[in-house]
């Protein structure tokens, strides 16, 4: 992988972070392929850019309104000249009834080069459960607008 491609992938993650912190679901979704797969932290599977955009618009209007996310690239693993797996560590701060809460996660994305640009083909976000108390984890699952068993906004 060229240094330019590696920097482009790092910039992609920075742009994800910026879009999250601005609650900009369109900017967030524009980093994804039109037919991308996205599995969020509770296991809901969104298929396609419109579903990814809609799902994030909902969480930024509800449970994660005003939240801030810090995303750091841990490793980039090329798996071919036009495909790479990007391992990220995320730290999310959000507010639950005025109480500051924190979530640690490990997003993993598969990026594909199309022409001269990169886009996210698949994204899997995994909760680092040991970083939360059992009470906080239960509260997150109960308050999340799309629980793992749900099938909304194009999710499965």
DSSP codes of every residue in 16-58: HHHHHHTT-HHHHHTTEEEEEEEE-TT--EEESHHHHHHHHHH
Which of the four pLDDT bands, split at 50, 70 and 90, describes residue 153? Answer: very low
Q: What is the pLDDT of residues 100-146, one digit of tens each?
A: 989 899 999 999 999 989 999 999 999 887 656 667 667 766 766 66
Average pLDDT over residues 51-65: 93
**pLDDT value for 154:** 47
Residue 43 has pLDDT above 90, yes or no: no
Structure pTM? 0.82
Q: What are 143's two structure tokens?
A: 């308050």
């Amino acid at each position: 992988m060229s240094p330019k491609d590696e920097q482009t992938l790092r910039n992609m993650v920075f742009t994800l972070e910026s879009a999250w912190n601005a609650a900009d679901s369109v900017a967030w979704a524009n980093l994804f392929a039109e037919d991308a797969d996205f599995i969020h932290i509770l296991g809901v599977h969104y298929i396609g850019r419109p579903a990814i955009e809609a799902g994030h618009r909902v969480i930024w209007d509800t449970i994660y309104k005003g939240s801030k996310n810090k995303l750091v690239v841990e490793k980039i693993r090329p798996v071919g000249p036009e495909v790479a797996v990007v391992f990220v560590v995320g730290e999310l701060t959000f507010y639950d009834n005025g109480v500051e809460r924190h979530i640690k996660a490990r997003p993993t994305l598969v990026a594909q080069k199309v022409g001269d640009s990169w886009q996210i083909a698949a994204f899997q976000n995994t909760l680092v459960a040991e970083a939360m108390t059992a009470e906080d984890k239960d509260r997150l699952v109960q308050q999340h607008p799309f629980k793992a068993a749900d099938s909304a906004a194009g999710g499965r």
